[in-house]
Structure 1
Amino acid sequence: MTSLALAGARIFDGDVWHDGHALLIENGKVSGIVAESALAPGQAVRNASGTMIVPGFIDLQVNGGGGIMLDGNSGVAGIEAICRAHAMFGTTGLLPTLITDTPEATAAAVAAGIEAARIGVPGFLGLHLEGPHLSTARKGAHDPALIRPMRDADLAKLVAARRHFQVLMTTLAPENVTPEQVSKLAAGGVKVSLGHSDTDCKTALAYVQAGASLVTHLFNAMSPLGHREPGLVGAALESGALWVGLIADGVHVDPVAIRAALKAKTGPARIFAVTDAMSTIGTDMASFTLNGRTIHRQDGRLTLDDGTLAGADIDMVSTVAYLHRTVGLSLDEALRMASLYPAEAVGIGGFKGRLGTGKDADFVELTDALTVASTWIGGEAVHEASSD
């Protein structure tokens, strides 16, 4: 039985802050938050003075990192590299995300994900398949030649794959998927997210009734909010059943729009942060290739030759800092948008997203400058800034 106390830090459990307390971890779980004066004699203690201990970040849309994009060639090693790269920035749980690709590449990525789940790659929660059943009118950087309607065989493969993952999520558009198919996906445990769509608000809300429960990167790859036709943006804000991902990087959404959306969102579901990160995270890469096309990296932007945004060049701790310093959220709420809300969005809030007795010991030590001092998954330090 392994037991460790982290003492000297301010501890945010996801709801409130604790001063003068220690975080107790035992066998990969949180065993309590207790007054430092109550620590048992002989207890192993790590000095975390000068830091904040917060729940580990959860990212439901991660296309790549560490120089690797999730694709048909990534394999388990690629998934491990992506998880390691994002752990450097406080992410303790993520969904590697496959952008629209061929059926063969999709099958290979799913097979790699199944193996990653089997061997327990630290930080791997499951997969997010973004496409190929999207709208070509709102394709973004997705290859239109690979976008297509969902077939019964596609649906069956998704439901079969779901058994191997904590979370299997797919982004789809009503233009290429029926409500009946959405109902079957949801009944099979697949998390359905609406995105890359020109759908009207009424149709989007009908798909919520069918079983869709999330929206992919609010405002991006969907029609703007209109006063006569609110579209998917309107449905995302109106429906209390829709959890809504948002890229907060200063490029994809203006802070005024972020503040307006946060004020307008109907609960209990909430808006949560995603990075939509590409392979550049944790590297000095100037460009990379996506489906045979060059993606250019400059000034925090990733673009195709024509200027179309192609994912994001931001990590989760930088997202938290942006939400707090630029958007103006309290640090508590910025942290919840990066941990608690995404956990709740995909049904894993019972054991992740908070630090409490019995929860997974997934947490981050942050400095006052909001940089990562260390990242812990299952009670083990997977990244230490001091050892870089």
Structure 2
Amino acid sequence: MLRNRYAIAASVIFDGAEVHRDRAVFMRGGRILDILHVGNLPHGVPVRTLPEGAWLAPGFIDAQVNGGGDVLLNDDPGAGAMAAIAAAHRKFGTTGIMPTLITDAREKMVVALEAVDRAAALNAGVLGLHLEGPFISPEKPGIHSRDYIREPTAEDLDLLTAPRETATLVTLAPERVGAGVVERLADAGVRVSLGHSMATYEETKAALDEGLTGFTHLFNAMRPLGARDPGPIAAALEAPNAFFGMIVDGEHVAPPMLRLALRGAAHPMLVTDAMPPVGGKTTSFLLNGQDIVLKDGRLTNAAGTLAGSALDMASAVRNTVEMLGVPLTDALRFASTEPAAFLGFGDLLGRISPDFRADLVAFDPRDMRIYETWVDGRPSESTNPA
């Protein structure tokens, strides 16, 4: 039967590892069946043909999204807000997000963790919840409110390790949480990332041994790399099983530093650290009582502290090519295949391969203009119809 079978034909298909030219992705429902020549598709299968020169690739996955579409998760950590944020980022090629709650009152953390499975039911682009704090270092708060920074309690650990249908990612400072905490979280399937931390090299290595696998916005809000004090950055770049987030906006980290990081052993991931203006209309918002204003591409408070970004994933991919000199195929992996593996979805997302979920993005490779996205095989309402 051909019912629910369909195909998307493109000049170039990047499957997450290899490039295929003049082929079609053959799907049934929300799953990928194969990549085929159009002439080898079963007779009668509907084919969507993308514009000449268009690329089709795995949809982008963003592990750090504070807001979008004029919505800030900290203001409303419920299922509706998470789904709305995912919808706002989809127009930029992002088919999967981890809505991110930054350091706040425990009650908001509870609400968000209780809501995330419902959010995924509303919008399949919600993959889980990222808790960036509150278990971080008061010495490296960034824009986070020191009033809410604290150490985890037994009740917190019970809450974080409770069974869920979606992924849970926790950014913490390992030197602040005590021995065994990282191991307990990791053993329960929680992804643990170092961030907003003054951990030493030795403390970071110990956390890696306990199950730490991530580094949140590498270089930002962590002990700097020093000649006799290598800190977490050196430990990260020596770790072949670790993943690090990069905010490639030309503001958070100088391009030469990111090019240096790409020479290490760890796996790079693109993240946006996006705030409400992405996909929205506002240029300012409140965060923990502080006015955050977008000016000249920077989101800052009155003191000039960076407060997330106005970056979207399509721009992050383009910047990675243009600022870092990375091949487009590598930039696409950093935006899809690598974050999928980090979050535990490496056998479902981040590739165009049989039995993977049909999360796809079609775009013009010259400027990363997004033509269309598909989540679980369902197309979006594109502003740039192909």
Q: Verify same fold: TM over 0.5.
A: yes
Asked if the contact 1:205/1:239 (under 8 Å) is kept, the reply is no
Mapping of 1:70-149 within 5 angstroms?
70-71=73-74, 73-117=76-120, 119-149=121-151
Q: Distance in 1 between matches of 2:165 and 2:316?
A: 26
CA shift, 1:283, in A, is: 1.8
Mapping of 1:206-221 within 5 angstroms?
206-221=206-221
**Which residue, 369, 372, 380 being the options, matches 1:371?**
369
Please name the residue that 1:46 is paired with.
Answer: 48
| 2:251 is equivalent to residue 251 of structure 1 | yes
Task: Report the residue type matching 1:331 in the other structure.
Answer: L
| 2:316 is equivalent to residue 319 of structure 1 | yes
**Which residue, 4, 12, 15 being the options, matches 1:13?**
15
Please name the residue that 1:302 is paired with.
Answer: 299
| 2:286 is equivalent to residue 289 of structure 1 | yes
Deviations 1:105-154 (A, max 9, x none): 1111222213213x252201000000000000000000001000111111
Task: Indicate the percent of aligned positions where both proteins have the same amino acid.
Answer: 41
Asked if the contact 1:125/1:166 (under 8 Å) is kept, the reply is yes
Please name the residue that 1:340 is paired with.
Answer: 337
Asked if the contact 1:7/1:49 (under 8 Å) is kept, the reply is no
- Structure 2 gap ranges (5+): none
Pairwise CA RMSD of aligned residues? 1.4
Q: Distance in 1 between matches of 2:71 and 2:224?
A: 32
Asked if the contact 1:65/1:277 (under 8 Å) is kept, the reply is yes
Deviations 1:166-196 (A, max 9, x none): 3100000023211311111111111111110
| 2:45 is equivalent to residue 24 of structure 1 | no
CA shift, 1:239, in A, is: 1.7
* TM-score, with length taken from structure 2: 0.96
SS at match of 1:136: coil
Please name the residue that 2:175 is paired with.
Answer: 175
Asked if the contact 1:72/1:104 (under 8 Å) is kept, the reply is no
**Which residue, 374, 378, 385 being the options, matches 1:380?**
378
Asked if the contact 1:65/1:281 (under 8 Å) is kept, the reply is yes
CA shift, 1:72, in A, is: 5.6
Deviations 1:293-345 (A, max 9, x none): 11111111111110010101100000000001121100000000000011111
